[in-house]
Amino acid sequence: MDYAHNLLVAAPEVLLSLGAIALMMCAAYAGDKASRWIGWAAVIFFVVAVFASLNPAGDAFGGLYRADSFSAFAKVLIYAGAAVAVVLAPDYFERNGSPLRAEYPVLIMLSAVGAGMMVSASDLLTLYVGLELQSLSSYVLASFMRRDNRSAEAGLKYFVLGALASGILLYGISLLYGFTGTTQFDAIAAAFGGEVSTGLLFGLVFVLAGIAFKIAAVPFHMWTPDVYEGAPTPVTTLFASVQKVAAVALMVRVTVEAMGPAYEAWRQIVIFSALASIVLGAVAAIGQTNIKRLLAYSSINNVGFALIGLAAVQPGQVDGVAAVMTYMAIYIVMTLGSFLVVLQMRDAEGRNVETIASLSGLSRTSPGLALALAIFMFSLAGIPPLLGFWSKFVVFDAAVKAGLWPLAAIGIAASVIGAYYYLKIVKTMYFDDPAPAYRPVDNKVEGGLIALSALAMSPLGYFLIPALGIVSINAARALF
């Protein structure tokens, strides 16, 4: 085994792992007073990891790990989102009377290592190790504010339900191994190419169920609203963006590479989950009064649209996978921008406010913040000419090309329901009587990220479509 080649192929994970160990030692000796510079050091490691992931070099570790254009695309999104989650943390924790612990950026780095392994997995064992590394870090991050009952409850719920999902996934893996005699995706695909036994179908269902928990797709969504609401907002930002991208990319790789020949079997599961996620995410969000819970149901709703692209996948056709990756690239910017605005929602004393009612009249007290949030809400609703419309268009177009026009029609109709609560927030900001004004934004980094995200989602973002289309298609071709 050529260890030098293996380590070079897995360079992003190696760099982040060594960086996490080094920063953990620094945290042990320097303590929490060094948390800010440890955080910025973590951001530097993420930037280096992005560049390291841009040069995929094939398989490593005997076929357990695969670096290709698909994994590179996903890792750029993952590392960028993780860096933002690190940058947002110091001011948030200080405002809430709990100075940032030095372990926070280290846990983010370890979570990103697990996410990177998930999107590069070419074996069920790598899949599970990466998913568990990411999950174990997430359980701690969800309960990071130990004196906050909501945070402790979020961590406990996430841990209990995550353990259940891990058990389901492991049972599915054991069935696939038992009926194929292998854990490698290529060999499993060969087994699905022949006569598919009942045991293989059960294994397929259980594996997809375990992954569906990570993407918060119906009916495995039950943890999402409570965890999103209770976890610290920078952590919720990580869950809604980075983890969502990693889990969706993992599901795409597993279904296409390991279960591709059985697409008629798993397509039925994906179609059901897509429609159920779109409808439940739209309907359940209508009565929410907490902005983080509303964004939790919004994330469930958006996963449903991404799954429409996955349902459109056919052997040798890249349109469906390219649509999913385009959707997730645009989705992560919309989500990061939305949560960046949520972080600016704080009263005159600097305490965070999460009620939708507090947004009343925001256009008069903070017009710039109201405009940015309106752009993100219109984009999430898929209303032209904002870039969020394009993300929905590409998945519906892929579904129609695959002959799934009833699925596309139902998805379009259901998206109208979801538009209601997005437009309700815009109406609250622009037409309701003003609530007490928020404290002015005093963090230039957060303000700059909000402006950058809003510009990307504006009509100017359409200039990025040609480049995004080329990168998405190249990523999709790597799976076929």
Q: How confident is the model at residue 307 (pLDDT cuts 50, 70, 90)?
A: very high
Please check whether residues 300 and 154 belong to one and the same domain. no
Handedness of CA 173, 179, 184, 189 (dihedral sign): negative
Residue 82 predicted with pLDDT over 90: yes
What distance in Å separates the CA atoms of residue 230 and residue 290, rounded to the nearest whole number?
Answer: 11
pLDDT at residue number 8: 85
Please check whether residues 288 and 246 belong to one and the same domain. no
- 302 or 314, which is more confident: 302
| CB-based contacts of 174, cutoff 8 Å, min separation 6 | 203
Please check whether residues 213 and 279 belong to one and the same domain. no
Please check whether residues 251 and 212 belong to one and the same domain. yes
Please check whether residues 285 and 422 belong to one and the same domain. yes
pLDDT at residue number 70: 92
- 336 or 444, which is more confident: 336
Please check whether residues 220 and 351 belong to one and the same domain. no
pTM of the model: 0.92
| 214-227: average pLDDT | 87
Residue 440 predicted with pLDDT over 80: no
Question: Which of 258, 292, 321 is the last residue in one of the domains?
Answer: 258
Residue 78 predicted with pLDDT over 90: yes
pLDDT at residue number 355: 86
Treating both helix axes as pointing N-terminal to C-terminal, what angle do 198-215 and 149-180 enclose, rounded to 10 degrees?
160
Q: How confident is the model at residue 379 (pLDDT cuts 50, 70, 90)?
A: very high
Assess contact for 215 and 43: CB atoms under 8 A.
no
Average pLDDT taken over every residue of the chain? 88
Please check whether residues 4 and 152 belong to one and the same domain. yes
Please check whether residues 334 and 222 belong to one and the same domain. no
Please check whether residues 276 and 424 belong to one and the same domain. yes
What distance in Å separates the CA atoms of residue 187 and residue 205, rounded to the nearest whole number?
Answer: 18
Q: How confident is the model at residue 335 (pLDDT cuts 50, 70, 90)?
A: very high
Q: What domain range includes position 416?
A: 260-480
Residue 326 predicted with pLDDT over 90: yes
Residue with tokens 């928020």: 438
pLDDT at residue number 1: 57
Please check whether residues 216 and 297 belong to one and the same domain. no
Residue 97 predicted with pLDDT over 80: no
Residue 445 predicted with pLDDT over 70: yes
Of 129, 109, 126, 133, whose CA–CA distance to 59 is shortest?
Answer: 126
Number of domains in the chain: 2
Distances (CA, A) of 357 to 238, 291, 353, 428, 429: 25, 9, 10, 7, 9
Question: Which of 229, 258, 287 is the last residue in one of the domains?
Answer: 258
pLDDT at residue number 260: 80
Of 409, 391, 407, 374, whose CA–CA distance to 302 is shortest?
Answer: 391
pLDDT per residue as tens digits for the range 230-279: 888 889 999 999 999 999 999 999 999 888 888 888 888 999 999 999 99
Q: Dump the DSSP string for 398-449.
A: HHHHTT-HHHHHHHHHHHHHHHHHHHHHHHHHHHSPPPSPPPPP--HHHHHH
Residues constituting the chain: 480
Question: Which of 227, 258, 289 is the last residue in one of the domains?
Answer: 258
Please check whether residues 349 and 478 belong to one and the same domain. yes
pLDDT at residue number 363: 86
